[in-house]
Amino acid sequence: MEGVEEIVIAGAGLAGLATALGLHRKGVRSVVLESSATLRASGYAFTTWTNAFRALDALGVGDKIREHHLLYERLVAFSASTGEAAAKLSLKMQGKSGPHEIRCVKRNFLLETLENELPEGTIRYSSKIVAIEEEGNVKLLHMADGSTIRANVLVGCDGVNSVVARWLGLHKPILSGRSATRGLAEYPDGHGFGPEMLQFIGQGFRSGVLPCSDTSVYWNYTWYPSPADGDAEESVDKMRQHVLARLRAAKIPAEALDVIERSEMSDVVSSPLRFRSPLALVRGSICRGGVCVAGDAFHPMTPELGQGGCAALEDGVVLARCLGEALGAGGHGSAEAALAKYAGERRWRAVRLVTAAYFVGFVQQSSNPAIKFLREKFLSGLLARVMVDMADYDCGKL
């Protein structure tokens, strides 16, 4: 139909760009509408587990990411109470889908790599959807600038506050009661950390120090906000001092504190952690007609597994495969059937990830004396194993 886009993707995050690139590889054109003026690389970096590299390989960009990021050999979880290692786990192991592979990848590097693989003009910036209507089988996308775009298929990759998810009737994400802040430190002459993920757990917080390359280190910190935090939310400097004070009161090594002291932090000093209820994922409409959701618009989760971005890449590959089989050269079937197939493949994977992430976060940050005792004596190793097991997954090829 003249004047109608076949596939419109809302959002140029990981899920949106992965879907667009997967479709491009399948010979199917799409348009990506991004509300901001440029690519948004909030979060600085994210843990890219084995399952994410399977998806990146399917998209044809895995080696470009590997070239610039360190391969981890082990995960070490320290007790914030004793300063001792509560769990050590080798990451040099075989999984069901091949050798495990974990790196901490700079978000802007990954987004730019995906963007550069797309045909020029695929992404339309400063293009925000504010409302959605139906006209027969066509979706009318009303934009913030007053224009309207017509689409046969709409894929919502528009984040945790998704307009598309709201149109589908999915329940709003739930506040977990925890917040997160993060940053990235640069060491031009090298940082001295080994190829390992470091976690510091207990006393009501969870913190991680993760080298991205030989010269950059990412850190994160999640905690239960309280009135005792005072004015920490007022500025980057006050949040940094709040985090450092909490960590100095625990048994955190000086080199980890140095990462935070010298790092760049976002103007958004912290973010409340939200997740979509597993029950809402089981009962809710992931797709309806020619509309579906992916990434954080589908399955926002707390960050303890490091699987939010990884699962978004999985979504993109599976969705592109399903739509490509229906709409690509020699394709058969309808877009609606393709989206239903995608939803069937992804629903229970999302339920497992959201549930496991919440459970791991609760145990890691609980101040309950019984849970604290079990965590430091027995559970830290189990929780680390859960993280690796959840990453032992292959979403398949395009």
DSSP state at residue 188: T
How confident is the model at residue 374, as a pLDDT?
67
Q: Which CATH class is domain 176-272?
A: alpha beta
Burial 67-87 (b: 16+ CB within 10 A, else e): eebbebebbbbbbbeeeeebb
Domain boundaries, given as residue ranges, for the chain? 5-71+107-174+274-391, 176-272
Alpha carbon distance 361, 232 (integer Å)? 22
DSSP state at residue 198: E
How confident is the model at residue 100, as a pLDDT?
94
Query: Could you state, in chain order, the average pLDDT of each consecutive group of 10 residues for the chain (398 residues)?
Result: 86 98 97 95 88 98 98 93 88 90 96 97 97 96 96 97 98 94 95 95 91 97 92 92 93 94 87 95 96 98 95 98 89 89 98 94 76 69 86 96
Closest to 235 measured CA to CA, from 270, 211, 202:
270
How confident is the model at residue 378, as a pLDDT?
65
Q: Contact 69/104 with Cβ under 8 angstroms?
A: yes
- pTM given for the model: 0.95
**Same fold? 5-71+107-174+274-391, 176-272:** no
Alpha carbon distance 228, 70 (integer Å)? 38
How confident is the model at residue 48, as a pLDDT?
97
Alpha carbon distance 281, 266 (integer Å)? 31
How confident is the model at residue 86, as a pLDDT?
86
Q: Which long-range contacts (CB under 8 A, 24 or more apart) does 160-167 make?
A: 160/274, 160/296, 160/297, 160/300, 162/10, 162/293, 162/296, 162/297, 163/10, 163/129, 163/130, 163/131, 163/132, 164/10, 164/129, 164/132, 164/291, 164/293, 164/297, 165/293, 165/297, 165/298, 167/132, 167/291
Domain 5-71+107-174+274-391 belongs in CATH node 3.50.50.60: yes
Alpha carbon distance 193, 104 (integer Å)? 13
How confident is the model at residue 1, as a pLDDT?
42
DSSP state at residue 98: E
Residue positions counted in the chain: 398
How confident is the model at residue 376, as a pLDDT?
67
Report the alpha-carbon angle 55-345-114, nearest 5. Answer: 25
